[in-house]
Amino acid sequence: MTGRIAVLLLFSLTTAFAQINTASQELVRRVRVRVALPNHAQCDPSTRVVLNGNSGFTVTGSSVNNECVAEFTDLPATRYRVSITGANITNADDGEIEIDPVIMQDVEVRARYTHGSAPNYGVGASSFVSVRDLAAPSSAAKEFDKAEKLIAKQDWTKALERLRKGLAIYPEDAAAYNNLGAVYSHMGNTSEAREALKKALALDDHLSQAYVNLGRLSFLDKDYPAVESLLNKALTLAAQKADVFTLLAYAQLSNQHFDQAIATGQQAHSGRLDQHAYLHVVAANAYEQQKKIGDSISQLELYLNEEPTGWRADKVREALATLQARVSAQAQQRSISAETQR
């Protein structure tokens, strides 16, 4: 296995590093894997579900949608180990699943937060902003206040109703439109979410969280150029948060903007943000694809200094060992070549 493969295993940016013999296996047309978080919490857009075959190699991977579900097509019917990756999230069990030879199958795997509590980008936190427009009539303000309480309880249906009522009274509130968009997004209605967020920015083009929320929707659509544009705009305003930097760096990596992905990680580290260790892995991948193996190794070592435990740390150690072995083998080969030429 090359170092490139070892590092990319952490991201599942390719669909297959090991060939599977499917000649004698039936293919399952569609498999849906739902990621279940404690207290029915919402997945971050960076969450990915990776299926590993019996040999331990990555077979395929997919990002989750707004329902925290990753979809796969034409999978061989066999056993897989499901690995969950993303910002501060990992497996809560061994992730072993059996795909039966049927046309469609739904399975569920449990996940947990790596730091024991929901990260900053969770529901009721960074997706939403407080609605405090002094120009709003008191009747509208009451509806917005009720909506915020319902959002905190993750009661999306009732929160949506209150936001609609408030905006019917006072349709000039950008923050309320941002919250409306975030609620629509959590309910899986991405088209309505986009329209609400665009309306928020039409009313206030300095509302950083609306740019972030639009960026998250673009991330789900794998529209990485749009993610870069939206999140760069958000960061010029106020959104100096680790999850924003992580989404931006991942989008830059996916666009093969390697230097920008590395710079984004450096910017986050210099800001001393919490929960930014994953950006070292993004930088390691970017360096490795630029054939800067020494820099890639250094980034993986920095990651392990900051997060030495957990499933992802184990995978980083595997990638680190492979890269180090690769460097050693190259040095040995150069030594042999030099001896031969004497």
Spell out a b/e string for 35-59, using b for 16 or more CB atoms within 10 Å of the CB, else e.
bebeeebbbbbbbbbbbbbeeeebb
Angle at 83 between CA 80 and CA 85, to 5 degrees: 160
pLDDT recorded at residue 87: 66
The Cα–Cα gap between 336 and 103 comes to 55
Residues of the chain predicted below pLDDT 50: 1-24, 115-125
pLDDT recorded at residue 178: 94
pLDDT recorded at residue 13: 27
pLDDT recorded at residue 104: 75
pLDDT recorded at residue 41: 63
- CATH superfamily, region 10-113: Immunoglobulins (2.60.40.10)
Using only C-alpha atoms, what is the Rg of the chain?
22
pLDDT recorded at residue 192: 94
Strand partners, 35: 109
Task: Tell me the one-letter amino acid at 160.
Answer: L
The Cα–Cα gap between 237 and 300 comes to 31
Task: Tell me the one-letter amino acid at 16.
Answer: A
Q: How far is CA 16 from CA 45, 51, 56, 74, 291, in A?
A: 22, 10, 12, 13, 21
Report if pTM > 0.75: no
Tell me the pLDDT tens digit for each residue of 125-161.
Answer: 457 777 767 788 999 999 999 999 998 888 889 999 9
pLDDT recorded at residue 229: 96
pLDDT recorded at residue 2: 37
